[in-house]
Chains A and B, each alone.
Chain A
Amino acid sequence: MNEALKVPTMAEYMAQDKQPEVLFWVGCAGSFDDRAKKITKAFAKLLNNAGVDFAVLGTEESCTGDPAKRAGNEFLFQMQAMMNIQVLDGYEIKKIVTTCPHCFNTLKNEYPDLGGNYEVMHHTQFLKSLMNEGRLKVEGGKFKGKRITFHDPCYLGRANNEYEAPRELLQKLEVELVEMKRCKTRGLCCGAGGAQMFKEPEKGDKDINVERTEEAIETQPSIIAAGCPFCNTMMTDGVKAKEKEASIQVMDIAEMIANAADL
């Protein structure tokens, strides 16, 4: 299928005096990072396919402030948060879905104290609910029977106790899900959180993403499934460092579902 994506902006909805079912918060990685943009598109395709009435903020979207907050810059975080809340409230947004667990966590947990109250879902949770409502068909297709391991994003798993939504989707894809030694509550971080994505790591004897990738490789997967654009980058780099890119792919669950449905 090669139909053009239908991705309306909130401004367009506003002009037509309409309100979407859900706002798709794309996030900075999803907007600018070449790898993450593919995840964004895959998710948008799934939304189109399921007939979800959604919109994006487009050029009115701005960093949630997560990296600033985790770096210790509470000022910048709160400035970002309050500006975003003004935009979101201006559009009377009630429900948000995002493909980034960092945006998800910040919008869901840290905006309410600053006056921004929304129902916020991670895209795996949202896709699961679409699947349960029968709006989205998730079938194995080319992934059927493949060995796949899932890397828990810290800000979806430990931070928000969501371990099952991504796994349920993978099961629906009929893959052979093999867990890493450290998974779910004890899952090892990819190394990107807490603003580490944007700086060099401190001195040590190994990079965290390499440690995590080695653990993933131990499960002998053909795909490492991820649910976060930053984990995706870190694991992709790890796979390259271990020279395994010929046999192991790193894919977001949204990409896998879209791919299986040949979207």
Chain B
Amino acid sequence: MQYIPNILFLVILIFGIGYFTKNIRKIIRNIKLGQAVDASDNKGQRWNNVIRIALGQSKMVVRPIPGLLHLIVYLGFIIINIEVLEIIIDGIFGTHRIFSSLGGFYGFLIASFEILAVLVFVSVIVFWVRRNIIRLKRFWNPEMKGWPKNDGNFILYFEMVLMTLFLIMNATDVHFQEMNNGNIISKHIAGWMSGTPESTLHIIERAAWWLHILGILIFLNYLYFSKHLHIILAFPNVYFGRVTPKGKFANLESVTNEVKLMMDPTADPYAAPPEGAETPAKFGASDVMDLTTTQLLNAYTCTECGRCTSECPANQTGKKLSPRKIMMDTRDRLEEVGKNVDKNGEFQPDGKQLLDDFISREELWACTTCNACVEACPVSIDPLSIIMSMRQYLVMEQSAAPNELNITMTNIENNAAPWPFNQMDRANWINES
């Protein structure tokens, strides 16, 4: 009978991690529904980016206040998780504070966890105030209604509760308080509770301990359903992010092949495609399967902070386009396609697509391709590349550009300039006074 808590703990742990793993595998499968990309180039630069941008948070601190607060929560998250290791060992083997034999070093660790816990708690409160009281504009855009808004707050509540439980767990641990080693914050909380019978303290301590680890496992599994996956995906996302100048838009290889053929004087214009030739690739993207795996990873990584949208010139001047919404829509559609695959084994057309059903043409045509959104993203997400892929579909598969652009393109084709001027007049400026 004495092993029941250990077994219960192990079962909960396995279930918690197992369910999370299952969902992570689903994410990987969904991402692989996209077009494969080769990211085997520039390994040094890519790792450098991971260290600088993801680990080092270099782009977060561009905005100093949220940057600093985020840095605290990020460090707290990473460092306090060392404590989880102890909890897991204690839970499985029925030990109590197994690392406390480390003596002074243990005290140092716990003291830093406790200080960080308080700092995280305070930072999270400030985040909550920014969202709900100060009502920063970027948290109140139209796409932030309903679930995305609640999701953001739920995550903050989770963190508040977890930090509180951690401190209560330490404060009510009579043995730990007696050691008086590292209880830098919790001794004050313990002070408030002096006079509480030891048996009650023990019950509170056990309850806080269990709720803390349960909370962590629930939070871990909440990630998949929330916008919070960035705590894991930011790292691969930055690795797969852009390593070329932002102005370099990818050249479509499928188009290159066609254009080369058109310009080849020896090509037979009447040639039929060889037997069994693959159908030519679709130009651009109308649905998530046409996007690249990197673009889909971008969508899962987005934590909806809205820095992109708050820098977007179109959004700032009241246009419908919001780069964050592009990412959210891409993820929502990908999830829908993923569920379709779960149900049918492979994707069965459902009469919907990313274009029009999620992202409107009005949004796509409002983009100035200025790269402000790409520059703003702290985790190297590229909303612009999705906008471009979808414009390519509209123009090359549907000939559905706005009329003025059709005229511009006709001009380029006929007179080699976007305006209806004759190419033969191109050097007239030289002799004009």
Task: Name A's B-contacting residues (CB within 8 A).
Answer: 5, 7, 9, 26, 28, 30-33, 37, 40-41, 44, 56, 58-59, 61-63, 65, 67-76, 78-80, 82-83, 105, 108-110, 113-114, 154-155, 158-161, 185-186, 188-189, 191-208, 211-212
Contacts and interface: CB of A to CB of B under 8 A. Distances in A.
A214 to B, nearest CB: 11
Contacts of B231: none
B251 A40 contact: no
11 contacts: A44-B430, A59-B426, A79-B262, A82-B263, A191-B313, A193-B370, A198-B405, A199-B404, A201-B319, A205-B318, A212-B313
Contacts of A195: 405, 408
Given A72-B388, A198-B405, A159 B426 contact: no
Interface in B379-429: 388, 390-396, 401-402, 404-405, 407-409, 412-413, 416-419, 421, 423-429
Place the interface of chain B in its size category: 35 or more
Contact of A63 (B370, B374, B417, B425): B417
Nearest to A7: B430
A63 B417 CA distance: 5
A198 B403 CA distance: 10
B427 A59 contact: yes
B404 A200 contact: yes
Interface of B: 62, 244-249, 251-252, 255-256, 258-260, 262-263, 283-284, 311, 313-314, 316-321, 362, 365-372, 374-376, 388, 390-396, 401-402, 404-405, 407-409, 412-413, 416-419, 421, 423-430, 432
Contact of B314 (A7, A160, A192, A202): A202
Contact of B245 (A74, A159, A198): A159
Contacts of A160: 245-247
B404 A62 contact: no
Contact of A58 (B369, B393, B427): B427
A58 B311 CA distance: 39
B368 A193 contact: yes
Given A30-B429, A79-B263, A186-B62, 16 more contacts: A41-B429, A58-B430, A69-B249, A71-B395, A72-B284, A73-B409, A74-B252, A75-B396, A108-B245, A110-B248, A154-B372, A158-B246, A192-B368, A202-B362, A207-B317, A211-B313
Contacts of A114: 251, 256
B370 A75 contact: no
A31 B427 contact: yes
Contacts of A28: 416-419
A56 B317 contact: no
B365 A159 contact: no
A78 B259 contact: yes
A196 B419 contact: no
A183 to B, nearest CB: 12
Contact of A191 (B320, B362, B368, B393): B368
Nearest 10 pairs of A and B residues by beta carbon: A159-B247, A72-B391, A194-B369, A205-B318, A189-B370, A204-B318, A62-B416, A109-B248, A72-B395, A58-B427
B279 to A, nearest CB: 18
B335 to A, nearest CB: 26
Contact of A205 (B317, B369, B416): B317
A26 B421 CA distance: 15
B427 A199 contact: no
